[in-house]
Amino acid sequence: MEENLAAEWNRKSWVESANDSSCGFPLQSLPYCIFTTEDSRPHPGIGIGDSILDLQICNRTGLFEGLPRPVHTACDARTLNPLIACGSAAHAMLRTRLMHLLDEAADPSTRHSVAAALVSKQAAKLLKPVEPANYTDFYASIDHATRVGELFRPDNPLLPNYKHVPIGYHGRASSIVVSGTEIRRPSGQTKPSEGSLPNFGPTRFLDYELEVALYIADGNPLGEPIPIREAANRIFGISLLNDWSARDLQAWEYQPLGPFLAKSFATSVSPWVVPFAALAPFRVPARICPSFDSSDGPLPYLFDGIDQYTGAIDLTVEAWLQTPAMRAAGRPAHRLSEASLAELWWTPAQLIAHHTSNGCNLLPCDLLATGTISNREDSSAGCLLELTVGGAQPIQLPSGETRRALEDGDEVILRGICRRNGYPEVSLGECRGIVAPAL
């Protein structure tokens, strides 16, 4: 199996820019997007090197002949929803066809036809790729949970249910926006100190959360859980996600039912959706590998040996910050943190298996987020709440500025990339957002 994987990843494309091992968009990745140009309305494409392959043109010129009819219809859609709803079998057939069309072994006639459907990334505007019907945000990083717990419960930072129950909450799908969308500073209730009355106004502790989004391909009927062994196969692809958070609003409102207005004002997603199939070389063992009957092990419905061996994803994620003063001075963004998705306590398959364990029906295009991705090292903390120890220790920026929380005009940039020796890099692109003043 490893030999077959290596053979596939040694293939080259006739699109020369895709053969640069550090380009992030090789033949084996082919991330989906929704884009528009001056001459077209929104429709699907895939990233290849420094270009976008227009799936609408490919379909209209007969390059997708023989593929299932729903795929043809999806190539004219304004979102990826119809394509995702085609199901895993159709996704695999489309991916095989795309790799064949772009492979360096393609004949001259095929190359000529496909070249007519290539668009420069610089000439395209990337839009929100998916309209999720539902959005669930998890809390899958044990290091994030522990570090945040230490702020509020120094003697008992990790609650006893954490190692057994994948914690999550239902988010707001309507306020999910694409990278580059301005993020308006929210207002809400806060309670500054013990004994004081609450007040209403703009948040004074706006934060970001570095996360990864999982888009569901095949859902499940109401009342029928998805077994852990099948769960990973239900993932269409992944993207970067920024779960913007108003920490002072959250501190006042979260008890007893959890996040509400502190989270629902905006969630940013990157415009690229990397197919789950493209992550095969980067599937690694989960952080925990106990037997399910150990004290720290998951219950049987969350345990699968194959998932423990290949269920995590070796993806490096980074958070960067550029302030207005840095932009004005021509200074580049400053990296705040770097962490690995592989260090999560729960795998993507475990999140799906638990989500559906009570019979909850996931739908195609539903979005599940990992929660803040942090690792053991303090420099890996995926939000300002952790990096500044609840605002008590402001971070120092190369510009001489400090930050306890995000200020108006600050831009947060999330990046993600998979690396493995002997394989080209696979990039998730960027997820950006600039903070705008409160109304």
Structure tokens at 178: 């694409």
Name the H helices within 21-133: 55-60, 69-74, 81-84, 88-102, 108-115
CB 271 within 8 A of CB 237: no
Q: Is 72 assigned a catalytic role? A: no
CA–chain centroid gap for 439, Å, is 29
Active-site annotation holder among 43, 91, 144, 355: 144
Is residue 277 classed exposed, middle or buried when 0-12, 13-18 and 19+ CB atoms within 10 A define those classes?
A: middle
Q: How far apart are CA 96 and CA 18, in angstroms?
A: 17
The half-sphere exposure of 406 on its side-chain side, counting CA atoms within 13 A, is: 34
Alpha-carbon distances, residue 351 vs 12, 112, 135, 140, 367 (angstroms): 35, 44, 13, 8, 12
Q: What's the length of the chain?
A: 439
Local structure of residue 226 (DSSP, 8 states)? P
DSSP secondary structure of 365-430? T-EEE------SSGGG--SHHHHTTTTTSPEEPTTS-EESSB-TT-EEEEEEEEEETTEEEEEEEE
CB atoms within 10 A of CB 436: 13
User: Annotated catalytic sites, by residue?
Assistant: 144
